[in-house]
Amino acid sequence: MTGIAAGPVNRLRPRRSCLAVPGSNPRFLEKAQGLPADQVFLDLEDACAPLAKEGARHTIVDALNNGDWTGKTRVVRVNDWTTHWTYRDVITVVEGAGPNLDCIMLPKVQDAQQIVSLDLLLTQIEKTMGFEVGRIGIEAQIENAKGLVNVDDIAAASPRLETIVFGPADFMASINMKSLVVGEQPPGYSADAYHYILMRILMAARANDLQAIDGPYLQIRNEDGYREVAGRAAALGFDGKWVLHPGQVELANEVFSPSQEDYDHAELILDAYDYCTSEAGGKKGSAMLGDEMIDEASRKMALVVAGKGRAAGMTRHSKFEIPEA
């Protein structure tokens, strides 16, 4: 199933830290601009009280048009399709600030049709307003059992999709998980209660060339806890995690960037592979880098790490030396 949006857009933006900012709070909107988060999302959903939503749409338009968001991916989270707010959220924000907005985040996605509906609405607004059709991306939050069961279809529903995002708070409530501490393991279960969910989301994302993002960790003063939960998602292959507090931004950037050593090594593997497959290197399919054999599969793994390091603005400390014949 696909919507009608089209157009080549670079969908793989850095998203190590995705900062949540309540759309109704101009002070927070101002402060967010100075933080080193890769992404900000201005929230019209759960961080915005029902009576504040209408005003927040306009506050967000103003912040997007007049703020300085240089270097950040700019996202607005609208309300989900089971509410009556969604269409006005999208129309007000995209008509008002479309060129200054990168993605719409849709929460509590339950099936592919909900993504297609958003895609169609975005296309109509873009055409009406004369904006580039298909430029605005979609981030889909998986926050309940139905969404997870349908995540493969959801991830393939539109070329606008950029990320699949896990929403642990709503998800834990939706499956009756016996814990009130979002992101922490429920007491009484010795294994990782999130493993299946995270892997399911990661597979759907990767099968469709999308990013996978982990959701919030609500104990905002517990840095060790954040590091541990974020580290688990990063180890599996997730690209980033939400941050709810300035103190979590640097932690996320660190956890989701490769170490300097891994980054340098990845760049060396790419150089060694390029050299050995070239004319000068003898057009070989594999080579040695020190004691390590490098082939096409190693190149692919190195590309992932190097790609994350480059996106994080890392500079290499290693130099490739042409091996002696």
C-beta of 133 vs 220, nearer to ligand GLV: 220
- In the complex, the smallest distance separating the C-beta of residue 171 from Mg ion, rounded to whole angstroms, is 8
- In the complex, the smallest distance separating the C-beta of residue 271 from ligand GLV, rounded to whole angstroms, is 41
| DSSP state, residue 99 | G
**Rule CB under 6 A: which residues touch ligand GLV?**
107, 141, 143, 167-170, 215-216
Q: What are the tokens at 178?
A: 């016996």
Candidates 32-40, 90-98, 137-145, 267-275 — which segment interacts with Mg ion by CB under 5 A?
Answer: 137-145
- In the complex, the smallest distance separating the C-beta of residue 166 from ligand GLV, rounded to whole angstroms, is 8
273 within 8 A of 300, measured Cβ to Cβ: no
Contacts of 171 (CB under 8 A, 6+ apart): 142, 143, 144, 148, 177, 197
- In the complex, the smallest distance separating the C-beta of residue 279 from ligand GLV, rounded to whole angstroms, is 52
What DSSP string describes 157-197?
Answer: S-TTEEEEEE-HHHHHHHTT-S-SSTTSPPTT--S-TTHHH
Instruction: Decide: is 258 part of the binding site for Mg ion (CB under 5 A).
Output: no
CA-nearest of 125, 113, 107 to 166 is 107
Q: What are the tokens at 205?
A: 């994302």
CA-nearest of 281, 251, 296 to 16 is 251
C-beta of 143 vs 162, nearer to Mg ion: 143
Candidates 55-63, 170-178, 237-245, 263-271 — which segment interacts with Mg ion by CB under 5 A?
Answer: 170-178
Q: Which does 183 bind (CB under 5 to 8 A by kind): Mg ion, ligand GLV, none?
A: none
Q: Which does 137 bind (CB under 5 to 8 A by kind): ligand GLV, Mg ion, none?
A: none
C-beta of 74 vs 77, nearer to ligand GLV: 77
- In the complex, the smallest distance separating the C-beta of residue 171 from ligand GLV, rounded to whole angstroms, is 7
* Contact mark string toward Mg ion, 92..131, x via CB under 5 A: ----------------------------------------
* Positive/negative CA dihedral, 160, 166, 169, 171: positive
Choice from 43, 162, 170, 271 touching Mg ion (CB under 5 A): 170
Q: Which does 267 bind (CB under 5 to 8 A by kind): Mg ion, ligand GLV, none?
A: none
| DSSP state, residue 136 | S
Identify how many contiguous H helices and E strands the chain contains and give both numbers.
Answer: 12, 10
Choice from 167, 168, 216, 240 touching Mg ion (CB under 5 A): 167
| DSSP state, residue 212 | E
DSSP alpha helix (H) spans, 130-277: 145-149, 151-155, 168-174, 195-207, 223-236, 246-255, 260-277
Candidates 4-12, 34-42, 164-172, 178-186 — which segment interacts with Mg ion by CB under 5 A?
Answer: 164-172
C-beta of 77 vs 299, nearer to ligand GLV: 77
